[in-house]
Structure 1
């Protein structure tokens, strides 16, 4: 793969949190427009259509049993024309991808592991082979045959050479539409190593054929172990480290532990993904909950963005951008915060004592010489925290002149000198809140 698109953690918008399986072309373009106008200068550049864009009867709040799936003559999924009218006439996502590209953005789609079960039930030839689509699926009693939460596909049997041939065909067709980002689901729980390797091979061929860089994102991440790190780095650009995350403090708090495990391993072309940011207007026609603005408080929203950046997670916002509140959009484009995810090293948890958690990181590239720290209050009430500046990694006793410590969400310069080895921070933190500090 070329993989130049994942030198830093990927950033974008995904339709899942707001629209579930039901997003339309107009909604995708409306979100792309806001991203291009307001967020692209800060690095947000990818728009992703999530699951079941090929399901004519898709609805909010779950999946239909034995769903009809719109397929082409080779069994490859096609967009539903009533939701994506520009796909009419067999054009697939090419017209929509072109419009997204015209805005200066990248375009992505979601796929499930395997082959559509309707292509297996209604066999058709696999081009270039003597096999049909009925020959290349795993038998129904195989443990990898079915996804436990979605019945659209059956697993491919990669002991049959035609299985790779069909996957190559599918990925080539999708990438040929102008797709720059593939979110491929049901890959990590359990860990389907053969499917991951086959996908990597197919994407590499499609990249060469179409001259594109394609970012590969794997899901869902349940109990994902760092034992798979080397294999993941060799075959994907990003991978989820949890189940779906929603606008609940418990979901957010759990990522403190997961990102502490993965942050030391973050590097170019290989990003542990703490999942989408359920911020802004979500639940419009989604799997979970009624339409709402995110139930996370402003303090929790900033805690989330602080943690995702210090943990160098990819950033994919799930809220409907045109109807999201301005405060959320302003926080999403805070470049002082976003620079941490793009230009840092040594990202690690420094302190965990009771309801106090401290993280730190050091700047690289254009932020060389900068240090960052976050002090998190995980308790359900506001509190005042006092701790030595040396516990945050911000102290620089060797400075020949006084430095500064700034809280980045408020742009407030603190009354503390990083050159003083005995300096003590005193911070008033909201419930589930954070102070994000930078020293220079």
Structure 2
């Protein structure tokens, strides 16, 4: 089922009685007797990660843990039956008995909890669902030592607007005055009208509802259908004013504010400013009524979302929400045991809120083990979102550096066969010896140096480790790392970055005396990527078809049938084309560039078949690292034939020729500073500088002796150029802007670029100015050692870098040596 359609179907009962204020959900369904609330129990304190950066218990301090009703509402097929008083009380009691000692504390009631409004236009709980009153349920949850959540959406219902009701606590205001004119839709489903927040009465109306929730004892609010996002990102719907108003109203009531669903990443800083958490993808539920809660495809598609969003979350910002963690009962989840543990690992290392969607009264033993492992929960509560070393392979390593110098490392086998997975310590920022602990097994598994091999990682399986460095090990941190603290106005990338890149050169060897001829030369800009390229990550069920004889590039395609199936490819360049087949069996697809919806395109062709058709093209990207992701939305099939990547030319020609009848050196000019050239490679092996080729300024000269030794025909060489670490930097233009790192060690090194637009950088160590570094250079050169200090006393130190002059200061990487 199309995910957008699922909202129309899954929430159909929302529109049935659209009489709630601010679009809060509508309750329908049977009555149930509320049980007597149990006496407040003595419950073990929630597990707090030993690496957590704060003990603050205010909303948003750590990813929340608990239970949400929505997965079971979908699974049951009649949502209201899963939010009755007796059901909610049963879940609260089960969580108290089975999960609460591990840190789970929220009981969140999703859509359809109310059935009307009071005389002030504020939502009233359903008397059918809560015959003894919702307050009795809230009190029961609180008596269990837990917190309770409710649900709302943007806007105000037409009925409340037309009734022109007085606003509580604001005698000069009424609900008839706060709707934006002309009337506009407020939410995805068209339930409510958009509120005009330029009228101060609008904020007072939201305040009146939030304050009422506070009086009830509500601790959490899920705010759904938030735009830009929720399937609409063109600003035809825009709920940002609602988000700001609710944020202000809820904050003074200490209520956690969670945004939903599939929010637009372009506004990530806005969501972080006003909310404690935000959904990053469509619902995790498979909408397999009475069959399963979710499926593997809906878990797998979260990996690219986590890749896009990880840097936007953290202790001082808020949390990326992956939706319900449905791993508690194998008969219900729709996942294998390995897939259940993979999901739990992804939630944990991503610091995503861990809230269960299963019926807590029916958890199996394996599910309880997954949900209560204290070492895995500690990783989640530490609030350090992990990121991948690379997404070019189905076997992926994800990692996050911790303040104590250790590194959390997860390996995920997203492929189709069991695999041994090798983790390079250098790839996760470590050089030296480390102690390895298996967190799922809760045991140490030895030491590693250089690399570590996780053996027999099953299909769709995972391993989760902590790498703890020995004394004298170097810990390297990128500019995105959560341990770095930025002061002032900083921009990530924004065209200030330099990305590592490579470009191919074809050497054509011929003999003119035997009739051979030199090929035409030119500047290479387009790189064709076939559908079989290992860098393309496929999620969902994909097939590979070869030898079709239909004009496909290299006579093959990849194809998917299930809506929601997707492919993703990360590239360096200024543009990309998606080339595919068009046919009557195909439909629409969404194209995302760098996590942002760029277009919805059609691959439908009424008659005949189109081969190698460009259905999406972009040419105006800033030169750098980008990601394209295409998601199937309709039609019987979606195909990928090839991708064409437009790259900035690094060489002045794409061919050189060597004529055996008139041997001569071949000269290639590099268009990036020659100081960035790492080397020239043939079939992955480096050529010898000074022997096979020499460098003279920007000219790379291949000697005739080297060329003569090549076989007749074409030989491919690869020029590799260095870039900023991980292809990104943070930049500041205002003098006084600073970044600091607190670490425990005996040495520290600052690595970054020099460039013509940079000036001086002041370096403070433990509050004392120790150096002023000139980071200006005649050319833009990356990964230069800018500052180094060794021989520090063992213990904690702080290094602080301050922009002193120049147009910009770029921060790339810092490293320290453990003491």
The TM tier, using the shorter chain, reads 0.7 to 0.9
| Residue 304 of structure 2 corresponds to residue 260 of structure 1 | no
Out of 104, 119, 123, which is 1:73 matched to? 119
Q: State the distance in 2 between where 1:353 and 1:237 align.
A: 32
3-state SS in 1 of match to 2:437: strand
Aligned to 1:135: 177
Q: What does 1:179-328 correspond to in 2, within 5 Å?
A: 179-188=218-227, 189=229, 190=233, 191-205=238-252, 207=253, 213-222=254-263, 224-225=264-265, 227-246=266-285, 247-268=294-315, 269-280=317-328, 293-328=332-367
Q: State the distance in 1 between where 2:205 and 2:181 align.
A: 17
Q: What's the TM-score once normalised by structure 1's chain length?
A: 0.82
Residue 359 of structure 1 contacts residue 373 of structure 1 at CA under 8 Å; is this kept in 2? yes
**Structure 1 residue 426, shift from structure 2 partner:** 4.2
Work out the number of aligned pairs and report it: 389
In the superposition, relative to structure 1, how do residues 392 and 336 fare at CA in structure 2: closer, same or farther (>3 Å)? farther
In the superposition, relative to structure 1, how do residues 437 and 150 fare at CA in structure 2: closer, same or farther (>3 Å)? farther
Structure 1 stretches of 4+ moved >4 Å: none
| Residue 406 of structure 2 corresponds to residue 370 of structure 1 | yes
Larger Rg computed on CA atoms? 2
In the superposition, relative to structure 1, how do residues 386 and 119 fare at CA in structure 2: closer, same or farther (>3 Å)? closer
Q: State the distance in 2 between where 1:394 and 1:345 align.
A: 15
Q: State the distance in 2 between where 1:43 and 1:150 align.
A: 38
Out of 58, 61, 84, which is 1:7 matched to? 61
- Please state which structure has a larger fraction of its residues in strand: 2
**Structure 1 residue 122, shift from structure 2 partner:** 2.9
3-state SS in 1 of match to 2:222: strand
3-state SS in 1 of match to 2:459: coil
Q: State the distance in 2 between where 1:394 and 1:335 align.
A: 25
| Residue 447 of structure 2 corresponds to residue 417 of structure 1 | yes
**Structure 1 residue 413, shift from structure 2 partner:** 4.5
Out of 466, 469, 484, which is 1:438 matched to? 466
Out of 26, 40, 48, which is 2:108 matched to? 48
Q: Could you list the per-position Cα deviations for residues 268-299 of structure 1 after superposition, in whole angstroms to 9, with x for gaps in the alignment? A: 251121112133359xxxxxxxxx60101111
Q: Which runs of 5+ in 1 are unaligned?
A: 55-68, 88-92, 208-212, 283-291
Q: State the distance in 1 between where 2:371 and 2:72 align.
A: 17
Aligned to 2:153: 112
Q: State the distance in 2 between where 1:304 and 1:45 align.
A: 20
Q: Could you list the per-position Cα deviations for residues 240-277 of structure 1 after superposition, in whole angstroms to 9, with x for gaps in the alignment? A: 11121121222111111111222223222511211121
Aligned to 1:393: 428
Out of 97, 110, 123, which is 2:164 matched to? 123
Residue 76 of structure 1 contacts residue 170 of structure 1 at CA under 8 Å; is this kept in 2? yes
Q: Could you list the per-position Cα deviations for residues 112-136 of structure 1 after superposition, in whole angstroms to 9, with x for gaps in the alignment? A: 1122332123332224244432332
3-state SS in 2 of match to 1:351: coil
Residue 48 of structure 1 contacts residue 181 of structure 1 at CA under 8 Å; is this kept in 2? yes
Q: Could you list the per-position Cα deviations for residues 383-423 of structure 1 after superposition, in whole angstroms to 9, with x for gaps in the alignment? A: 222424425638662x5xxx542332234644x522x23x4
Out of 356, 381, 400, which is 1:361 matched to? 400
Residue 350 of structure 1 contacts residue 391 of structure 1 at CA under 8 Å; is this kept in 2? no
Q: State the distance in 2 between where 1:97 and 1:245 align.
A: 27
3-state SS in 2 of match to 1:439: strand
The worse-fitting range, judged by mean Cα deviation, of 320-329 and 128-137 is 128-137
3-state SS in 2 of match to 1:5: coil
**Structure 1 residue 103, shift from structure 2 partner:** 0.8
3-state SS in 1 of match to 2:98: helix
- Please state which structure has a larger fraction of its residues in helix: 1
| Residue 436 of structure 2 corresponds to residue 405 of structure 1 | yes
Q: What's the TM-score once normalised by structure 2's chain length?
A: 0.45
3-state SS in 1 of match to 2:465: strand
3-state SS in 2 of match to 1:316: strand
Q: State the distance in 1 between where 2:257 and 2:121 align.
A: 22
Residue 129 of structure 1 contacts residue 162 of structure 1 at CA under 8 Å; is this kept in 2? no
Residue 187 of structure 2 contacts residue 226 of structure 2 at CA under 8 Å; is this kept in 1? no
Residue 351 of structure 1 contacts residue 391 of structure 1 at CA under 8 Å; is this kept in 2? no
Residue 140 of structure 1 contacts residue 146 of structure 1 at CA under 8 Å; is this kept in 2? no
Aligned to 2:487: none
Q: State the distance in 1 between where 2:102 and 2:424 align.
A: 30
Residue 424 of structure 2 contacts residue 452 of structure 2 at CA under 8 Å; is this kept in 1? yes
